Structure 1
């Protein structure tokens, strides 16, 4: 291959800093706009199909209701203008005015429902709790890491110091295969881990909502490191036998912030495909983030990341409001990838021996703090108040910095700290373990607002604001229930 061709296909990415503000910071918004369906290119047009399609539109219940209402208003107006004596037929009721107001009310309701933005409801969610035999205490972590023979004594001591101060307790979960001596992590190891966590969360969600898999019309799956062929979303479709026209999307390489990106994608798709359910699944394959080398910047993720997954069921139908837990009020996404320092602060790289790992440098904390501050300022101007906050559970150091930077209280960060201690950093699903914690430990009242915020490689910073539609307490599928 020629030199120019090698340069063209180089794995190195050179990002030019452009468009930055005077103070060196810059944010931009990313929004997925729903595309209209192109029926002419996706179906075979025939006279029979056109007749059938037109027949379906003409007999649409909403269209018929609108036509009947307009006719009622027109008839009552004509009757009034011709001064008909309706009181002779119905002496106790003013039938003309009744028809007019009923018809007008239906027309107003039709216009309101068709032209106001469709809401996004979170019907329910579930977080997977792995079996107890996958629990790994901090002491056992160090013992297994030493027995694996993959680390120098200096690296073992470094991981021991990190574990001591990172905020993770002794009950988080890890795949034992990563500690097996002389074992190279295989694609099958990652698939088995992803299947365990994803299918477990989805099973609990379907059991709680009583939704049949064939009723799901949209599927969005996100996982940062593990990307297979067929995709993880295809694994879900095959296992649960989803219908063949399900709108399926698989997000990868977006880190801990991808869970909110997946919600954003599902929200926009629900506008294009109304009247269906959207299933969002967030997970991470710890076995594929595991680093078996001695570079300290890559050993950090070993100490933090743990097994977990969350599944969420969304709908845009107003008929589902009565059964939904929350309504999505605000969604904000920012990206600082235009800056080299942010772009390179978290990335997968190989060490001198060719061993792959997730590298995290010192610029990551500073980059995410600037994003979090901007999100808080923007969203408080919109909502004025959050009763509950779910900050992605990365590490104790990051949570301490955010609490100090944003002048938060211990109550504000309680859900994140408890989740970090019990489950560790479960990546994009951690904000859902936190919401489950709030439901179990705090009575979420009707009207309360919950702020979920996550950040990931890029640096990306994403926020959700949910409004509780009823009083919400602990549920049977909560990972916090014994």
Structure 2
């Protein structure tokens, strides 16, 4: 007891500060009610003093005001954006024949790389945060990549995700009016969106888009594009497919900075069905609330921190710059500066504004106030780009391990599946039974360019884990894994 006694004042102070902050947030959040209630009481007291004659004299004015209210209400409801609903989504789970442990991957690559390059990749794999059940198109290791193998991989991933989604939603593929596909590294001609049209024999009026070269945040860009298209076309379904053909970006040279993606990227894809039909609201899982996109491409350092080119021997690969983490942090700060006012409670916005004034106007030497986004969201779906990415975002956003769990488990179980990883994150939370009605979900994606994109959803209903069928369903009881496995 004597050893702990000196810490008691600090403990009491921290408790007081905690409850003082909670009281402050409660006061600010309910300020509008604290102002309105006295006004309404005063109005009722005033009306109680009026006679029938006084009320008749005010009737004409009251009628005019009512007409104006009805007019402006009609204009508002006619001009507001259409609601967009996420009916359901699907994440592709590759066949077990594609499953590859880290040790098996090193063994399969032993006849491709020299000893130095092999050992470097082995060290990266050991510290990557990936487990031993990720998926790689093993038919192509040892190195036998061909254009036809890329197409086969694309068709298996994309159609696998779509078939599962159609089975879940029971929507006929012919009823879908908009199709958007994003794949950064592999973009054949005809496009992957045309491949879908051909595979499912879709009608001539379907609108298709194919986004290429937009990096790991392209899935969220696709959501933004679909939302904009759905605003101009009534009673429509939009299908978004996010995929990355990892074999097309596999590097067999010796430059270490180019070997890193070999250790992180894995097979995976997702299919998302959006609708602007009001009749779909009761069966939809989420409603789209906000999309915020940040592009730092004007900065040369940001533009060159992740790109595809060839080494001195003409071998094509993804090159990651040493500035990647710093650029990602800057892009995130810019993005949340725009997102914050849209989602944070007024109490947090006032604290952030006060900190800004103190530092910029009064030149006080103090750390910038980091808004508490835990007050705005119940779930965080952060792109599982790598262990370093997740560590950096956890520190910047001050998130507890519980909220980072879906992203870390996605990286561990499926690896970096590029733009589809945020959907594996959300599928994890659903499989755990954590999604409740009214919950808010923040999806964060980073991509070459350099871009940071955010999408916010609100759960329209509780998601029953027992009725879910997703890649986690059969093994969710095995997660989360102990932190020691991630650090191995």
| 1:411 partner SS | helix
Asked if the contact 1:178/1:290 (under 8 Å) is kept, the reply is no
Paired position in structure 1 for 2:54: none
- Structure 1 or 2: more helix by fraction: 2
CA contact (8 A) 2:378 2:439 kept: yes
Task: Assess if the C-alpha contact under 8 Å between 2:294 and 2:334 holds in 1.
Answer: no
Q: State the distance in 1 between where 2:106 and 2:237 align.
A: 44
Q: Is the aligned partner of 1:230 residue 2:190? A: yes
1:180 partnered with 2:142: yes
Residue of 86, 89, 92 corresponding to 1:125: 89
Q: Residues of 1 paired with 2:174 and 2:73: CA distance? A: 31
Uncovered stretches (5+) of structure 1, i.e. residues with no partner: 1-102
Map 1:133-212; keep pairs closer than 5 Å: 133-146=97-110, 149-181=111-143, 183=144, 185-212=145-172
Give the aligned CA root-mean-square deviation in angstroms: 1.8
Contact 2:130 2:413 in 1 (8 A): yes
CA distance in 1, matches of 2:269, 2:77: 35
1:397 pairs, out of 383, 388, 393, with 388
Shift >3 Å, 4+ stretches: 103-113
The 2-side partners of 1:432 and 1:328 are apart by 14
Q: 1:365, 1:398 within 8 Å by CA — same for their partners in 2?
A: yes
Alignment of 1:30-429 (within 5 A): 113-146=77-110, 149-181=111-143, 183=144, 185-384=145-344, 385-429=376-420
Distance 1:243 1:105, change over 3 A: farther
**Does structure 2 retain, via aligned residues, the 8 Å contact 1:213–1:241?**
no
Secondary structure of the structure 2 residue equivalent to 1:236? helix
Aligned residues: 376
Alpha-carbon distance in structure 2 between the residues aligned to 1:177 and 1:159: 20
2:434 matches 1:443: yes
Shift of 1:111: 5.2
Q: Secondary structure at the match of 1:443?
A: coil
- Matched with 1:49 is none
Query: In 1, are the aligned partners of 2:82 and 2:231 still within 8 Å (CA)?
Result: yes
SS at match of 1:320: helix
CA distance in 2, matches of 1:110, 1:226: 48
The answer on whether the counterparts of 2:84 and 2:288 sit within 8 Å (CA) in structure 1 is: yes
Question: Any idea what the Cα deviations from partners look like across 1:398-422, whole Å, max 9, x if unmatched?
Answer: 1111111221111221110000000
Q: Indicate the residue corresponding to 1:100 in structure 2.
A: none
Deviates more, 1:406-415 or 1:425-434: 406-415
Q: Is the 8 A contact 1:222 1:281 kept in 2?
A: yes
Q: TM-score, normalised by structure 1?
A: 0.75
